[in-house]
Structure 1
């Protein structure tokens, strides 16, 4: 349960102000059809994070405990620093044409935008840390949905009221603590 709850919270925080959250806002404004957008986000996130979680589980098996501890500790501290750098949506992502309908366009755009993203990297690290693939993937997927679904439905009103710098600071502090704990344990 700890792996699920930590994964949910960390990814929900990491996603605030992230490029995929901005992509959710653009898709909602462009298509004005929230249900296929949210469904596309869910399927893309589940697929992406399942792959990332599998990589994390493999890393757990491939590295010895001492090497894994150092890799995780340094990775969590690096993630803390990365959290403090705001994302921007690429112009190409905003101008994508919906060849495959709203659901298909969302699924493809979101899956590709999530490649190498903070939340994908966090999923790899969390799966390696907890050695609980299903709980981590379920938690990170829920965290993504908690951060993105409201943006699709409520859009710009939310983004104006959420202090993104504060959310990023809290997320960075949590990653920093996890890194230090991993290095000291």
Structure 2
């Protein structure tokens, strides 16, 4: 059992590095408290790897990939709209984090939909067929929580250094990209279309962000250089012959 824990922890930890679940975790950590995100990740990891162990050790079944991917794509597109509307609902100081109970449910559901049929789940299924099922479950859950914990730390660091409205826009964009990729690549099997669509959306967002930053900088410069009426009157008096 100990060997199953160590092997599963190492395999899942390495498999999660750079995976979409890490990006999803960081996206949630940009907007919500770290302990809320970590709680949702822990519950989702227990559920998804428990299902993997059951499939690999007890059932020997396979999951329908495309219906699950389509459901995940729809969920992420809805998350993108929800996050965008939440960020645009008020001014910079009016943006509020959603209630933790709803956030945890959103994290769990998005992780389940993202991980079903993913390489991490397939690795857990394979390990459970040859090793102690309880050890695989414990090790895989711990590996996923550790890997996604690093993503939470990155999200918390960015949250401290970037403005709230920008973080909401970034989170919305990431959810949109996740949804489009799942829709075109996993659900429809169109890898090149997925690359083209997500790349175009990311490029358009980057161009829009650069243009918005330049406009704000130009507006700030105009405000700084604009002369008030009192300053103009004082300058004209100083230039008059009597003074």
Partner of 2:136: 136
Alpha-carbon separation, structure 2, partners of 1:96 and 1:41: 22
Could you tell me how far 1:93 is from its partner in structure 2? 7.4
CA offsets 1:144-174 (integer angstroms, 9 cap, x no match) = 011001211233879xxxxxxxxxxxxxxxx
Q: Specify the alignment match of 1:54 in structure 2.
A: 54
Distance 1:121 1:45 in 2: 14
TM-score, with normalisation over the residues of structure 1? 0.62
**Contact 2:4-2:136 at 8 Å conserved across structures:** yes
| Count of aligned pairs between the two proteins | 129
Measured after TM superposition, the shift of residue 109 of structure 1 is: 0.8
Shift of the 157–33 alpha-carbon distance from structure 1 to 2, 3 Å rule, reads closer
Pairwise CA distance, 1:111? 1.2
Higher RCO (Cα < 8 Å, 6 or more apart): 1
**8 Å contact kept, 1:24–1:151:** yes
Aligned 8 A contact 1:59 1:128 in 2: no
Over the aligned positions, Cα root-mean-square deviation in angstroms equals 2.7
Asked if 1 retains the 8 angstrom alpha-carbon contact of 2:34 and 2:156, the reply is: no
Superposition deviation, residue 94 in structure 1: 5.8
Q: Does 1:5 align with 2:6?
A: yes
**Where do residues 1-185 of structure 1 align in structure 2 (5 Å cutoff)?**
1-29=2-30, 31-58=31-58, 92=77, 95=80, 97=82, 101-130=102-131, 132-155=132-155
Partner Cα distance (1:96, 1:114) in 2? 22
Could you tell me the TM-score, scaled by structure 2's length? 0.48
Q: Could you tell me whether the CA contact under 8 Å between 1:37 and 1:152 is conserved in 2? A: yes
Q: 1:121 Cα deviation (Å)?
A: 0.5
* Cα 1:44–1:147 shift into 2, 3 Å: same
State how far apart, in whole Å, the 1-side matches of 2:28 and 2:130 are. 34
Q: Which runs of 5+ in 2 are unaligned?
A: 62-72, 83-97, 159-243
Asked if the contact 1:126/1:136 (under 8 Å) is kept, the reply is yes
SS of the residue corresponding to residue 18 of structure 2 reads coil
Structure 2: how far apart are the matches of 1:109 and 1:16? 18
Q: Is the 8 A contact 1:57 1:133 kept in 2?
A: yes
Larger Rg: 2
Gaps of 5+ in 1: 63-89, 159-185
